[in-house]
Amino acid sequence: MSSNSYDLLVIGAGPGGYVAAIRAAQLGLTTALIDKRKTLGGTCLNIGCIPSKALLHLSEQYHFTNHEAASAGIKTGKVGLDLSKMMKRKDLVVTGLVKGVGMLVSKRGITCIQGTARLSGPTSVIVTTDKGNEEINATHIILAAGSVPVELPPLPFDGETIVSSDEALSFDRVPEKLVVVGAGAIGLELGSVWSRLGSDVTVVELLPRAAAGFDDDVCKGLERALRRQGLKLELSTRVTGYKKGANRRQAILQAEKDGKRLEFPADKILVAVGRRPFTEGLGLEEVGVTLDEAGRVRTDEHLQTSVKSIHAIGDIVAGPMLAHKGEEEGTAVAEALAGHAGHVNYDVIPNVIYTEPEVAGVGLTESQARERGQAISVGKFPLAANGRALATGSTDGFAKVIADKDSDRILGVQILGRNASELIAEAVAHMEYGGSAEDLARTVHAHPTLSEALKEAGLAVSKRSIHSL
């Protein structure tokens, strides 16, 4: 085998791609990993999940110190914001993590190449680096090129006033007025960050609910909490365009609601209406890799594309655009290519929005189960009746368990509340092993913890919650 020939070549070093490369190397495949970015980790680590979580954490601390500390008996001096220092802290988190991933990948003997890859055949790729073009061959190729923000035709990105999450993670000053288009994960998370840091934030959403996709009671509870925090939510509102504002740096978002024209002046407009698979420039057509009607790489149930030697994973294929889904797919494909049985359980992929309170769900929502005509029993427990929630001032929200009426098997769980992102893991584990509401209810939970709310919701499925009526 020549030095530029591998068992596996992975295009894209996000959570899907780098995890696939590590798993393949663990299983003895010679592996190369290509990414055009200088650092590994893709969108998630560099300009997505990780920097947004750092800013959510820091902005929450700022907001608490500024607005709640005094009423909790904590005396502070004058509280101020040094945004550039906060951004540096966020950048430090990212740098540390991407360096760590780089170290893991190189210690596994994976060849990392910084460059842009284009398929030149079913088992070959041309990589353009700053030194020129190089052809690399591999028995198998995994496409893990990820996704990019969707642009709204009436609101084209200009990188300055009309921006995507890429820019909204690094504003150099707090916008006086921020208009967010889209009340999904990105819009609500970044809307929360800038609102906590002092922006007047309006979120404009096409659908009648924020965080649509979760159950209505979850959405309503979240909307109430966000409005209390000062975010303005304009639901059922359709964006029609924008016009220039008072000065070069301002714009006025134009929208329509119930036949009425609305205008929202803004220093920045963050468009967060979804992401689309990034397939341009990969040479898919030339080698015969086909796309589906939504522009995603078409794969079979083994994530194999229309070309036998090429697999695809993560945001570029069907399914939720979530880092952990991509990771599992990367692991499954690497294992299959090494002769093992790789598998992803798509029924049990948790979904989280990291607002305060957080929302998290897994499996079927209550409304999905009802739409399917499934006979269900639902158990719900409010955090206001949970000791730890009371002790830590986080009584907003509830846990809800949706179980099959006959078998008691858990079909889904929805949580609105602090640390819902962590609490959902227990529901995922029960569901992965086919657990019932009774299993959840009989599992011993440490007291006092928020996780007891989940146990109580499990008990409530059979109407025997101890701490609620």
What is the pairing mode between strands 132-143 and 124-129? antiparallel
Q: Say how many C-beta atoms besides its own lie within 10 A of residue 212's C-beta.
A: 14
Indicate the residue whose CB is closest to ligand NAI: 184
Catalytic: which of 302, 324, 447, 467?
447
CA 257 to CA 425: how far, in whole Å? 39
Identify the H or E element spanning 162. Answer: strand 162-163
What is the pairing mode between strands 132-143 and 5-11? parallel
Residues 180-239 that bind ligand NAI (CB under 6 A): 181-187, 189, 204-207, 212, 239
Q: Does 25 bind ligand NAI (CB under 6 A)?
A: no
Residue nearer to ligand NAI on the CB measure, 183 or 403: 183
Q: What is the DSSP letter of 71?
A: G
We find the least distance from the C-beta atom of residue 185 to ligand NAI, in angstroms, to be: 4
Structure-token pair, residue 63: 């907001």
Residue nearer to ligand NAI on the CB measure, 32 or 47: 47
Q: Does 54 bind ligand NAI (CB under 6 A)?
A: no
When binding is defined by CB under 6 A, the residue of 40, 55, 152, 317 that contacts ligand NAI is 152
Identify the H or E element spanning 103. Answer: helix 83-107
Structure-token pair, residue 134: 């190089």
Identify the H or E element spanning 117. Answer: strand 116-121
The one-letter code for the residue type at 408 is D
Alpha helices of 229-378 — where are they, by DSSP H? 284-287, 323-337, 366-371
- Of 178-186, 262-270, 375-383, 409-417, the window that binds ligand NAI (rule: CB under 6 A) is 178-186
Task: Give the per-residue contact string, 254-283, with ligand NAI (x = CB under 6 A; - = no).
Answer: ------------------xxxx--------
Given the structure tokens 């584990």, which residue do they identify?
A: 429
447 is catalytic: yes
Q: Say how many C-beta atoms besides its own lie within 10 A of residue 198's C-beta.
A: 17
Residue nearer to ligand NAI on the CB measure, 212 or 336: 212
Residue nearer to ligand NAI on the CB measure, 45 or 352: 352
Task: Give the per-residue contact string, 297-336, with ligand NAI (x = CB under 6 A; - = no).
Answer: ------------------------xx--------------
CA 230 to CA 422: how far, in whole Å? 26
How many residues bind to ligand NAI according to rule CB under 6 A? 24
Residue nearer to ligand NAI on the CB measure, 182 or 330: 182
Active site residues: 447
List residues binding ligand NAI (CB under 6 A): 152, 181-187, 189, 204-207, 212, 239, 272-275, 321-322, 352-354
